[in-house]
Structure 1
Amino acid sequence: MVDLDQASGLASIEQESVSKLLSDVKLVAEKPLVHQIVESVRRLIITVRLLPGQKISESALSAAFDASKTPVREALIRLEAAGLVNIVPKSGTFVAPIRIEKYFDAFFIRLHLETGAVRRAAAMARAGQPLDPIDRVMERQERALSEKDYDLFFALDEHLHQGIFDMAGISGVWETARRAQTELYRVRHLKRICTLQRGPVILAQHQDLVAAIRSGEPDAAEAALVAHVGSLEQEADVIWSAPGLIENIERLNAERPRPRLR
């Protein structure tokens, strides 16, 4: 559990081994092994537990998941396709660097896809579709905030936005948005470490967004979404004006030398 009140900023981030980070992993028999490896490593990358440029050992993954090399390599290939890692022949697999330009691309994709989703969800609410799944996520997020479980709080943030796409009947679009948002998630977590975004503010914005969807008014839902995620111009202002954020991203990218990609 990460307590933001105790976070000392980006300068305090230290590299931890893959073995240590995955020491408490629990497999689910009903889910494909490759999928579980992908999701576990993805979570560590987007929460910046695995740092840009950090080497990911195949043998460490095999040991953590009690898996042969075949599913581990398949998982790494999928992670590379998602832009999360770089596989360098004869050198190994490395966490991809953070690219601010990709962050703004991801933000643009999220804003425009989710605008359509919240408008459609509001229309579905007006037609009588209940918001029970979204309400349950909100209850869990409120509890996570009260318990200062910020890792769970931000995981539920993703569940909430997924729930909106599900309610809108466009779950496949959510998968498209999710795949595009690697840099969005990583920079968001760095902003979290800097306490540039605070849980109570995000929770209040989520409550406003859910209330707007419940009202059945697409325009109100869109306005609440924009109030929550902002505009591209506003986000650019936040990123470039955040004290030390860009400098520390560059430091994280540079601290672990990576072999030249061929």
Structure 2
Amino acid sequence: MQEPHPMQDFPPHDPGPVWVVGASSGFGFALAQDLARAGRAVIGLARSEPPTGSEFAYRRADVTDHVGFDRAMNAMIDAHGTPSGLVYCPSNTAAVGRSWELDTADLQELFEVTYLGFVRAVRRAVPAMIEAGCGSVVLVGSRAARIPVETLAGYASAKAAAEQYAQCLAHELEPTGVRVNVIGISADTPLAREHLRLRAATLGREEPYPALPPVLDNLGLARFLLTPDAEFITGQTIEARQPLWV
């Protein structure tokens, strides 16, 4: 007999769709698939073509395109109503290298995707959530935002900016019923693999890094934070266990 999915029979008082920004691959795609299979209404956004085998609604939108991204979110609200959840995953591998050698154009690109894209998504989703009196914002952060990792100063700085913004947002939104949390993941994703490759090349490292955990092992926390069961959890940064080599 098949075990019931932990999110089946989701409470009817929180029926809005979950927006997963960065749903074309990695953690975002895995989470969107997981939620959709559980019966949640999910809208995935990314700038690339819809991923093969996706089981959720998908819209192409580039978080660095101010006008186009806002238009896409407006269209989603018009078509699907107020979101009950916003999960923000995007980052990129620009500006990996020794801190004093980083190119400012690469850093600007990294901050546009990792930090300012998150701000743009919040500016559109959160007012609707406030009006509804509920909602959950989940930012995929990084341990690198809090613990230095060589060659990742750019990535760490962008994630730190996004995490601090999320913490301030949580404090401001607490009276409204909208909650905001940051999760750290430890997963074998395309972004993580490319970071490891670039770090190894910069450091002249020949031996491989140990394998990362499967991305599916990281879904439970985000899934829980998107339910009303987590209605009293806000302003938290919850970190997955990291490999010992980090």
- What's the TM-score, normalizing by structure 2? 0.28
Greater helix percent: which structure?
Answer: 1
TM-score (norm 1): 0.27
Q: Tell me: higher relative CO, structure 1 or 2? Use CA pairs within 8 A at least 6 residues apart.
A: 1
Q: Which has the larger radius of gyration?
A: 1
